[in-house]
Amino acid sequence: MRTTVGITFLVIGLIAVLPIGLPKLFSNDESDIAIAMFLVFGGMMASLTGSGLVRFYFDGSLRTAKLLFGVCFVVSTALMIAGLVSVFSNIGVSVYLLVVGFMGAVVSALALK
């Protein structure tokens, strides 16, 4: 049951980041951009929390937890790449994506140790 809750957090967080939040960051409406910023940050935190729950309940010895943190690392890297690609079109969104992606990648990498 605890593993299911952790994986559910991860899936909900990734859905908030990738298909919902990331495309809205590049819209022209300021309110959509503000909502998307909360979605991307909250989704990354939910994903990392879900991975952390799986790791906590199995004392870090379960391969599933490492796999989930690896997925979070890949998504964080994708956010950083999206930030680098959009650096010339919208500098504010680009810096935001770089910061959130870097924070997620650092937390994931430290958890994979």
Per-residue pLDDT of the chain (113 residues), as tens digits, is 778 888 899 999 999 999 999 999 888 899 999 999 999 999 999 999 998 888 888 765 578 888 899 999 999 999 999 999 988 888 999 999 999 999 999 999 998 87
DSSP 8-state code for residue 33: H
Output the CA–CA distances (angstroms, integers) from residue 94 to 3, 8, 62, 84, in the order listed.
34, 29, 35, 6
For residue 77, the model assigns a pLDDT of 95
Q: What does the pLDDT read at residue 95?
A: 94
pLDDT at 60: 55
Token reading at 37: 């910023």
